[in-house]
Amino acid sequence: MGGTTAPELAKFHAPEVVFGPGALAEFGHCARRVGARRPFLVTDPGITEAGWAAEAVAHLQHVGLQPVVWSRITPNPKDHEVTAAYEHYVETGCDVIMAVGGGSCIDAAKAVAILSGNGGSILDYAGVDRVVQPIPPMVMAPSTSGTGADVSQFAIITDTVERTKITILSRTLVPDISIVDPRLLTTMPDDLNAATGLDALTHAVESFVSRAHNRLTDHHALHAVHLITSNLRHAITHPRRSEPRIAMAQGALEAGMAFTNAILGITHAMSHQVGGLLDAPHGVVNGVLLPHCIRFNAETDPTRYVPLAAAVGIDVTRLPAAEAADVLAQRIRELADELGIPRGLGELGVTTADLPTLARTTLGDACLTTNPRSVAAEDIEALFRRAL
């Protein structure tokens, strides 16, 4: 959305959301409402072990449905995993696609939906609006407070041959129903809690400064920043306390609703490449890159970072905009330190030899188009070097 003058035309796309402790009990009713006869449930070994997959299956059986469960999904879902899941989906005659799990499960479920309606290979759909045929209804229940996949128009899949991540961006990928039950967050290990929380924070920051932001996305982005920075530490130190979990679930949800409509920026464009190369945790890479990217974008115009700094609790009354942006970057790095996030990409295995390739593939990422500052390959390479 260009310009800052009101009134702007604002478009806001979101699924139906069922939110609150115990919301997973609605899983079966939601499946029925979107027409399920034989639902295909995508999950993973961790969610199965935690008992959430069994609970979801019980809710489906309670309304007379016999789901087909697929759990062969790993973090940063791979192209061949999607193919295998889709083949099983077809063989078993399933219809509605459901997921209980983190962003990897939800993205894999979306990828199965794409192939169901459109055929071909999942890698054919990289980029914007390539999914042209209708896809099956989707119902998602996220188990992390971070990725926003349950409300977004994104699916991120790893191309295992090229060792990059592809970004699939299409309005068709916004699920029909998102069931956000904060109870599911209680079984997250601390490192996943930290990583997904930083991912959600990155969604909120990037969507607020995005070229495509509008007043509806701004509201959700700022509130998400406040909720996440106020509650992420408490959610880890007091894992059984319900208030921090509920706040984190809401923060991730609002950040997701902001970024699916305003899109993202350079942090995600760069992070996807590192994740594809090293199969590194996406939120951890975001945590390393975000402070650097804030400073980089603020060099040309720091004004949008002032309300973000205020949302984090920084007193911006007498602070010049450039300084507010710098303090915000510093505060986010301090949070990352407290959560045990590496100081640089080198600790994750990135080397200087990787930088030209990473810069080149970043340029092709769809998230870069809405970054507030225009960039060239040398800017990206310099930024990667700074983050090493």
Mean pLDDT, range 266-270, rounded to an integer: 98
| Strands 154-159 vs 164-169: parallel, antiparallel or unpaired | antiparallel
Burial label, 342 (beta-carbon count in 10 A; 0-12, 13-18, 19+): middle
Mean pLDDT, range 286-312, rounded to an integer: 98
Judge whether 42 and 105 are in contact, CB under 8 Å. yes
> What domains does the chain contain, in order, with CATH numbers?
16-185 (3.40.50.1970), 189-387 (1.20.1090.10)
Mean pLDDT, range 161-176, rounded to an integer: 96
Q: What percent of the chain has pLDDT over 90?
A: 96
pLDDT at 291: 98
Q: How far apart are CA 2 and CA 4, in angstroms?
A: 7
pLDDT at 113: 98
Asked if pLDDT for residue 4 goes beyond 50, the answer is no
Asked if pLDDT for residue 40 goes beyond 60, the answer is yes
Residues comprising the chain, all counted? 388
pLDDT at 137: 98
pLDDT at 293: 98
Q: What is the pLDDT of residues 247-256, one digit of tens each?
A: 999 999 999 9
In the block, tokens 């880890």 appear at 236
Mean pLDDT, range 265-290, rounded to an integer: 96
Q: What is the pLDDT of residues 77-113, one digit of tens each?
A: 999 999 999 999 999 999 999 999 999 999 999 999 9
pLDDT at 239: 86
| Strands 177-180 vs 138-142: parallel, antiparallel or unpaired | parallel
Burial of 289-308, coded b for 16+ CB within 10 Å and e otherwise, reads: bbbbbbbbbbeeebebbbbb
Q: How far apart are CA 371 and CA 333, in angstroms?
A: 21
How high is the mean pLDDT of the chain?
96
Which amino acid belongs to residue 35?
G
Is the bond preceding 7 in cis, omega lying within 30 degrees of 0? yes
Q: What percent of the chain has pLDDT over 70?
A: 98
Judge whether 388 and 344 are in contact, CB under 8 Å. yes
Read off the pLDDT band of 31 (50, 70, 90). Answer: very high
The candidate with the shortest Cα–Cα distance to 126, out of 145, 95, 154, is 154
The candidate with the shortest Cα–Cα distance to 201, out of 265, 251, 142, 154, is 251
More confident residue, 240 or 157: 157
pLDDT at 77: 97
Asked if pLDDT for residue 2 goes beyond 50, the answer is no
Asked if pLDDT for residue 7 goes beyond 70, the answer is no
Read off the pLDDT band of 240 (50, 70, 90). Answer: confident
Read off the pLDDT band of 3 (50, 70, 90). Answer: very low
Least confident of 3-7, 13-17, 180-184, 195-199: 3-7
Burial label, 64 (beta-carbon count in 10 A; 0-12, 13-18, 19+): exposed
Q: What is the pLDDT of residues 124-154, one digit of tens each?
A: 999 999 999 999 999 999 999 989 999 999 9
Asked if pLDDT for residue 1 goes beyond 60, the answer is no
pLDDT at 245: 96
Mean pLDDT, range 61-69, rounded to an integer: 98
Asked if pLDDT for residue 362 goes beyond 60, the answer is yes
Helices (H), 189-241: 190-209, 215-237
Q: What is the pLDDT of residues 366-376, one digit of tens each?
A: 999 999 999 99
Judge whether 179 and 26 are in contact, CB under 8 Å. yes
Q: What is the pLDDT of residues 314-336, one digit of tens each?
A: 999 999 999 999 999 999 999 99
Inter-helix orientation angle 377-387/282-298, to 10°: 120
Q: How far apart are CA 302 and CA 325, in angstroms?
A: 6
